[in-house]
Structure 1
């Protein structure tokens, strides 16, 4: 065996080992992302059952409005989380930031699981529910930017779209898992048991998952370098607005439309099928479980599509198609009778959204340098998501309550049009060599 052959063999073994380390890092980091979103969506999927326990007065739409308001306020904590955890990630490391965020989500979920109801402690119950949601919102606000940054830095060059898509695979997986848990609990318990105590089960399960995710995240290798963390600009808000204002505003633009339509066709859609299409809650939950499973599987192919044809192409397809098809799809779903037809329509909508969600974190990370990457991605996402994504259910229900539900469809369309404009003016990472200098030490 020649020395050249031995060198080639060693290089091949090194490449394989490096690939395995990177794949494990994607798995370990995304496991925490799954837990974060399982806990967060457990609230959305069980709101129908615990709303009367914390807000006993009013009809179903009024109670859902109140729980949706608490859901939205949790989103308002995301910009704070995006700033705080972004600073920690850029200054002290992505790994530290991700471990703290999953611990906080566990605490918020466990608090909701044991929370006394309005009947037991009166108005203190909804106040404590709000505080627990604020802790969860802070945690999720920090999770998105840091995990998006980590996964973009650890992914293999040339396949970043494919690997980074697993952020939304696990995000949707968390949502799907929450939906599946609720479906199983529905099958095991009566409606009265669900409303009395069964809704708490999901939050206890979330706390257990968090412990597993924390253990997995302890094995992660840091992707930011000591050099980038020690720079005076690291984690600096001033640096972002001094040198990266245009990129920050572009991210705000397409995140606003992307977040709004994402929450419209995922978390709100369950209530839309019940409240507007008049499906029973078990059928609607079964439809959404099937939808989310399909949507999750869509992400890697759409991510790989962006590796071939570019992030900009994917974003333009998202913005353009979402602007054209949102209103017709919402009208069709309002009159749908068959659960199979509902499934097909929602999957079609989410196929359009997948052009965005499959590369959501990556396309943002590719626009910023490593010393401010986590904060830039996390803060821009959190602000737009808090204002438009977090309020989606509340605004939709508000329009319905006022008898002008169709105005919500046009509101979503308008925001998707803004995302389309942002996609037109965004730089093309495929051509301009973004994600430079990640400082990866894997």
Structure 2
């Protein structure tokens, strides 16, 4: 009888943890859906907010507003990291998704330039800044929460769902925009149809808010009450080395992630001279495959260790980026393009599947969310957010291959950071932690 009760308790505990992962990752999906909805609809709403100039000028102006979202991420990482470490992961995640809902809804109902003049692009910028703050705060807190709620021995598998939902948000945004495109005329899209994905994003956020409201807090009252909780000074006084290591492999990881995901579509069209529709189909299938690969690579880290996964990522990315980029540039068939890009993203998956977890394991609970969120946001804003611009700049200057070497250099830095990082099995702060939910 005791065995049966123990089995039932284990089953109930596992079910609660799975529900906690769903609740926390649902917000992550919504955050990234809203963030990418802007990028996918910019072509249609750009003239409504920036009527002066040609289409290229309008797109550049909307791209500048998009970039502001990246620059707001470090601020969001700091603010929400403080809230998560001082007042709880759950509170931080709820505020974050509520803020994203507000930003998305604001864009959905914004009056155009024709209605209110220059106030329109200013309000668009403010809404985008709100979204940037929200996304900046989401990563560190959700990564911390998923790492803490996961069962010991299966943390890699559980934590991998952060990137499952991150990529899923991008795919969902693409799908929604595609459905809207198929349902409306070009004139309707430009007049009002572009607003639909933002209304949908706001509705998704409300659902995620209710799911997160049912979550159990993973940080203890003891850790939140410590004077070091949420302290930037504490991070740089006692955890500078760990912070710099996280910056190192996040810089390389973010750069190569954006190179083989968001930029790759343009690379297939501009460099491999693939038809744009074909390139869109290839990248949609690539992203879906990449998304479902994450749990498998998370389980590999549970079996062979986080440090081994990070060393494989850094080493293989350093060795293979240049030959893969050259091979993709000369690709002749969509199937070959798919295969090569998946090889690249399999290498990246050694990092992305455990991205939040490997960082969480390097910091104590009282500064964990801020350390993870701030380090990620800084490196991601500088290297991830600029990936496409740098790639196109090198191509425009006639030295496209220099971009391949730039990515390789940053991956080599990630390799060095992976060598220097402590083995979580030996010195990981999550060792011995077991959150009861």
- 5+ residue gaps, structure 1, are 1-5
1:412 aligns with 2:407: yes
1-structure distance, mates of 2:148, 2:367: 13
Per-residue CA deviations over 1:96-135 (Å, capped at 9, x if unaligned) read: 0000000111111122222344455444433332222111
Q: Check whether the contact 2:254–2:379 (CA below 8 A) recurs between aligned residues.
A: yes
Corresponding residue number in structure 1 for 2:286: 291
Unaligned runs of 5+ in 2: none
**1:87-166 mapped onto 2 (5 Å cutoff):** 87-166=82-161
Separation of aligned partners in 1, 2:430 and 2:292: 26
Provide the rounded CA distance (Å) in 1 between the counterparts of 2:268 and 2:42: 15
Match of 2:356 among 344, 347, 361: 361
Contact 1:86–1:374 (8 Å) recurs in 2: yes
2:263 aligned counterpart, secondary structure = helix
1:184-223 aligned at under 5 Å gives the runs 184-223=179-218
> Distance between the aligned counterparts of 1:197 and 1:169, measured in 2?
31
Q: Residue deviations 1:385-405, cap 9 Å, x none?
A: 111111222222333344443
| Structure 1 residue 61, shift from structure 2 partner | 5.6
Q: Report if aligned partners of 2:77, 2:370 keep a CA contact under 8 Å in 1.
A: yes
Q: How does 1:42-441 map to 2 (within 5 A)?
A: 42-56=37-51, 63-436=58-431, 438=433, 440-441=435-436
Tell me the TM-score normalised to structure 2 length: 0.94
Q: How many positions carry a matched residue from both structures?
A: 437
1:307 match: secondary structure: helix
1:270 and 1:129 map into 2 onto residues whose CA distance is 26
Residues 112 and 30 of structure 1, relative CA distance in 2, 3 Å threshold: same
* Alpha-carbon contact 2:25-2:165 (below 8 Å) kept: yes
Normalised TM-score (structure 1): 0.93
The Cα of 1:65 is off from its aligned counterpart by: 4.0
8 Å contact from structure 1 (residues 53, 118) kept in 2:
yes
Work out the CA distance in 2 between the residues paired with 1:118 and 1:339. 41
Aligned partners of 1:273, 1:350: CA distance in 2, in Å? 15
Pairwise CA distance, 1:142? 0.6
RMSD: 2.1
> Contact 2:94 / 2:209 at 8 angstroms: preserved in 1?
yes
Aligned counterpart, 2:9: 14
What residue number does 1:3 align with? Answer: none
Q: Which whole-Å deviations, capped at 9, do the CAs of 1:230-265 have from their partners, x for residues lacking one? A: 111111111111111100000000001111111122
Contact conserved, 2:272 with 2:329, CA < 8 A, in 1?
yes
Q: Is the 8 A contact 1:65 1:397 kept in 2?
A: no
Contact 2:25-2:162 at 8 Å conserved across structures:
yes
Q: Is contact 1:37–1:175 with CA below 8 Å preserved after alignment?
A: yes
Summarize the Cα distance change of 1:85–1:225 in structure 2 as closer, same or farther, 3 Å threshold: same
Question: What CA distance in whole angstroms lies between the structure 2 residues aligned with 1:252 and 1:82?
Answer: 13
In the TM superposition, what is the alpha-carbon distance from 1:38 to its structure 2 partner?
Answer: 0.7
1:169–1:297: 8 Å Cα contact kept in structure 2? yes
